[in-house]
Structure 1
Amino acid sequence: MSRRQKTFRALAIGDGSDGQWAAYAQPLWPLAEQWLSEEGRTEEGADRARRLFEEHMPELVPVLDRLTGQLDRPEARTFLTLAAIRPFFSACTQIGAGGTLLRNYDFDPDDCEGTIVSSHFLRPVIGMQDAAWGLLDGMNDAGLAVSLTFGGRFVHGPGFAIPIVLRYLLETCTTVDEAVGRLRSIPIAIPQNVTLVDAEQARTVYVGPDIPLTEAPDACAANHQHLPVPDDQERSSRTQERLAAVRATGPDVAAMLKSPLYQLAYDEGLGTVYTAHYHPAEGKVTYFWPDDSWPQSFATFTPGTRTMALGLA
């Protein structure tokens, strides 16, 4: 396959009130509108999404209002709740161990925002942003890091898209136990695996619209949960193969940048877009690509843009 290129950016947005976030978010709306569900486009659906957000993420309501108030988009009020989003499915592999969180994010590069954001909505947070203010993975200043993978089952129900849930956990929680406790009561729209790391422990939990929060046997995840994986799904996603591989290698960046953990199925939306290695107790993260890396931290956050080669030579 030919290698691809993608431009990533790093952006410091503070509490979202100085216009930097709005300048970034405005151009996203043609794409964002495509992800709004049909129900979310109705007045009843918009009201339902708002009530769900107020019920489960009350601490973030002032932030939601501050952000939507800067956008000249009436649908932003609903979209940014991430409670009225069409389902989307990705790949990904992740592992937490030894106070670190290591993950590969696998998706269609053209549909990944590719923006590393340093924010201070309720507290300092750094992560890879998605859906304008959600997070695919990230850490906070308390030493908590979280990351997501798709749970592999194509079911959908009422609830939140997982990126806003990761944002909420990092904004309001300081430990793995506290974050898992919050996750138990938050409705999640599609099956997801969440890996959480702090200085004391690492855990993976399975969540979804049709199951209660379920503990994984270890702090590793690919794209299945505790239920059998159909043979055709394994052939296309290699989820069991990748889970076995990451368990065997442990949190090894070099292994993440090689097959079978590094995926090349970009035309199917399952190619590896980036690798992230969080050291939350130190407030540091490094994003990796086969030919390059980009370190960031709370102490030294460097805004800018970089164009990275995706795929293996």
Structure 2
Amino acid sequence: MLWRALSEEQPGPKWAGLFAEYWPAYREWWMREGEHARATYAECRRALVKHMPELVDLYDQLCELAGGGDKPARFLSFWNPPAYLSGCSQAIWQGPEPVMVRNYDYDSRSFDSLILRTNWGGRTVMGVSDGLWGLVDGVNDAGLAISLTFGGRNVVGKGFGVPLILRYVLQTCTTTEQAGAVLARIPTHMSYNVTVLDENRQFLTAMMGPGRKTLITHNAVATNHQESVEWVSHARFTATVERERFLLQRLTLHREPEETFIDAFLKPPLYSTAFSKGFGTLYTAVYRPRLRQMEVRWPGTVWPMSMHDFVEGGRRVAIPGAA
């Protein structure tokens, strides 16, 4: 995998170039069930206006940079996208400098491998990209960090792909309390656990899903189920219960240093080697919201990022068994 770190203050030529590069693969994925399985442009834009009005102007700018076509605009809305599954583990370490740590377990062939720093709408956001403006984890200039895991249900409903919801939270919220209110009201098309940590040490995990009310919890750990296991075969394959228990024990039974806790994410049972099956750990992210810093880690490698001293660059990472 070739990872890149890019910064662009406002939507412009860098983002347009990324879209031109990634769009053929995203178009194939987005169209895999046929064009008519996807919402119309009018439906997509109405959903954004209703649920995320603060993003509409930005969305229009990105659609123009993407060429102004119908299909790119519908894709960029994240409204009712195709279903997708991931693994993932995340936790809040409540030490002297609280950190959010997460593993992202997914298919390397369906991943942006991109860290974006933007200042869209005057709000600086830094995080790992999905869909070229959505995020699977990130932090903003108010010291609010956020991350997602799949929630372990195979029900698909009407709603947004969760990476855009994470982008929306970081663009519009400054505290965990504000983020919780947003996560409670925006519909998602699949089930996800979203964990939030702010600079005042406040945190929550929102258990979101179609057809049910979002449950806001004070959980410091999230893996790939919610209150109980509902998709048994997926739970067994991803060892979601075992990973949750392991993390809870690390947080409650052991008083260990920050680095020891982070290092546990780079080893089994948290670190997944199921790369050939599309559920290998593609990276570990460490967020320090009070410092406005993040790190992307792989076994033996740490790539630090600072929001206020962001350095563009690239890294090549070997993924065992990946095509």
TM-score when scaled to structure 2? 0.90
Structure 1 residues 44 and 299: alpha-carbon distance in aligned structure 2, compared to 1, 3 A threshold: closer
Alignment check: 8 A CA contact 1:135 1:163 kept: yes
Whole-Å separation in 2 of the counterparts to 1:154 and 1:76 = 26
Structure 1 residues 39 and 142: alpha-carbon distance in aligned structure 2, compared to 1, 3 A threshold: farther
Whole-Å separation in 2 of the counterparts to 1:135 and 1:146 = 9
**Which amino acid is 2:216 matched to?**
E
Give the match's secondary structure for 2:318: strand
Residue 297 of structure 1 and its aligned partner are, at CA, apart by 0.9
Q: Could you tell me which of 276, 279, 282 is aligned with 1:270? A: 279
2:254 alignment counterpart: none
Residue 74 of structure 1 and its aligned partner are, at CA, apart by 3.1
**Which amino acid is 1:215 matched to?**
I
Whole-Å separation in 1 of the counterparts to 2:287 and 2:144 = 10
List runs of 5+ in structure 1 lacking aligned partners: 1-5
Residue 238 in structure 1 maps to residue 234 in structure 2: no
Structure 1 residues 268 and 56: alpha-carbon distance in aligned structure 2, compared to 1, 3 A threshold: same
Residue 41 of structure 1 and its aligned partner are, at CA, apart by 4.7
The C-alpha deviation readout for 1:140-163, integer Å capped at 9, x for no partner, is: 000100000000110000000000
1:110 alignment counterpart: 109
Structure 1 residues 297 and 44: alpha-carbon distance in aligned structure 2, compared to 1, 3 A threshold: closer
1:287 alignment counterpart: 296
Residue 25 in structure 1 maps to residue 24 in structure 2: no
2:93 alignment counterpart: 97
Alignment check: 8 A CA contact 1:40 1:46 kept: no
Whole-Å separation in 1 of the counterparts to 2:179 and 2:35 = 28
Residue 56 in structure 1 maps to residue 28 in structure 2: no
Which of the two has greater strand per residue? 1
Residue 67 of structure 1 and its aligned partner are, at CA, apart by 0.9
Q: How does 1:202-221 map to 2 (within 5 A)?
A: 202-216=203-217, 218-221=219-222
Residue 309 of structure 1 and its aligned partner are, at CA, apart by 2.8
Alignment check: 8 A CA contact 1:155 1:190 kept: yes
Residue 22 of structure 1 and its aligned partner are, at CA, apart by 0.5
Q: What's the % identity of the aligned pairs?
A: 36
Residue 32 of structure 1 and its aligned partner are, at CA, apart by 1.3
Residue 311 of structure 1 and its aligned partner are, at CA, apart by 5.5
Structure 1 residues 231 and 213: alpha-carbon distance in aligned structure 2, compared to 1, 3 A threshold: closer
Structure 1 residues 88 and 35: alpha-carbon distance in aligned structure 2, compared to 1, 3 A threshold: same
Residue 260 of structure 1 and its aligned partner are, at CA, apart by 0.3
Alignment check: 8 A CA contact 2:86 2:279 kept: yes
Structure 1 residues 55 and 225: alpha-carbon distance in aligned structure 2, compared to 1, 3 A threshold: same
**Which amino acid is 1:119 matched to?**
T
Alignment check: 8 A CA contact 1:100 1:279 kept: yes
The C-alpha deviation readout for 1:267-295, integer Å capped at 9, x for no partner, is: 22110000000001110001100021110
Whole-Å separation in 1 of the counterparts to 2:53 and 2:7 = 24
Residue 79 in structure 1 maps to residue 78 in structure 2: no
Alignment check: 8 A CA contact 2:294 2:304 kept: yes
List runs of 5+ in structure 2 lacking aligned partners: 252-257
